Structure 1
Amino acid sequence: MKQFELNIKQLKKITFLLVGIFIVGIIVWDVFYNTNDRFRNNLLNSIQNEEYNGVVVEKYYDKENHNDPTLVLKSGEKVSVYGIIWGKIYIGDSIVKNKGETTLSSFRNDQKLIFDNKSIIDEIRKSK
């Protein structure tokens, strides 16, 4: 029976090949499998860092920003909203979004609506 032996040069080549395959595997996993969770978390962090309040004076789809549903406040501030929020808020409504929260409150006459962006984003993700 013949014995199989590797020299140092062959061992280095095999080691480099295995390390390369491992690195490519990690990159592929990160790009293709981890993207959705990372996108969701980045979006929620961005929402939590937002803070605004005011009266809605205009609504439109911002064609220059991927057709995002946008509300314009009396102060001139533009606010992008998600999911059902755009359709449920009317011109003349007052809205409040506090920093550190994912919820947005809308006030109209004696009515208060609360929208949780986290729940809305999770529902959108489930439907895809």
Structure 2
Amino acid sequence: MIEIDLKNNLHKVLLFIGIVSIFMFGYYLTPNKGFYDRMLKTRIEENYNGKVLEKYTDSSNHCTPMLKLSNRNIALENTFWDEVNIKDSIVKIKGESFITLYRKDRTKIIFDYEKYFEKLSKKNKPK
């Protein structure tokens, strides 16, 4: 009769499942085309507008660049956050992939998330 050491095999199975889970989770969070596509989809669903009252970094959220608008706070990518000034007006329409920034001098600046994430996707492509 063959004796099976269930306790030892259970440890091996759990270890295997743990390792596979870590690799899958790591792949999901690794900057790749799928990652940037998910980020773009999230940004497209956003909807906000208002006057910029304050710029700050949220130290409790990995120093995320933030804008305080007249009606809410929003997170932005560093590259666009640097372009924003206090008292600018900002508009993001749900379903659109871009943000429009209006300056006091009537200058209009467009930040296109689709182009931004495409550029990052190409930059971080495995070699």
CA distance in 1, matches of 2:107, 2:65: 23
Gap regions ≥5 residues in structure 2: 1-19
Decide which of 89, 102, 105 is 1:107's aligned counterpart.
102
User: What is the letter of the counterpart of residue 120 of structure 2?
Assistant: I
List aligned pairs for 1:1-128, cutoff 5 A. 32=27, 35=30, 36-75=32-71, 77-108=72-103, 109-128=105-124
- Kindly tell me: are residues 119 and 83 of structure 1, through their superposed partners in 2, closer, same or farther at Cα, counting changes over 3 Å? farther
The two structures, once aligned, show a CA RMSD in angstroms of 2.5
- Kindly tell me: are residues 110 and 65 of structure 1, through their superposed partners in 2, closer, same or farther at Cα, counting changes over 3 Å? same
Aligned residues: 103
User: What is the letter of the counterpart of residue 116 of structure 1?
Assistant: D
| Structure 1 runs of 4+ with >6 Å offset | none
Computing the radius of gyration over CA atoms, which structure comes out larger, 1 or 2?
A: 1
Gap regions ≥5 residues in structure 1: 1-24
TM-score of the superposition, structure 1-length normalised? Answer: 0.69
Residue 111 of structure 1 and its aligned partner are, at CA, apart by: 0.6
User: What is the letter of the counterpart of residue 57 of structure 1?
Assistant: L
Residue deviations 1:64-93 (CA, integer Å, cap 9, x gap): 112111111011x11111141100010100
**1:83–1:121 Cα contact (<8 Å) kept:** no
Secondary structure of 2:82's counterpart equals: helix
Q: Greater relative contact order (Cα 8 A, min sep 6): structure 1 or 2?
A: 2
Residue deviations 1:84-110 (CA, integer Å, cap 9, x gap): 110001010000000001100000121
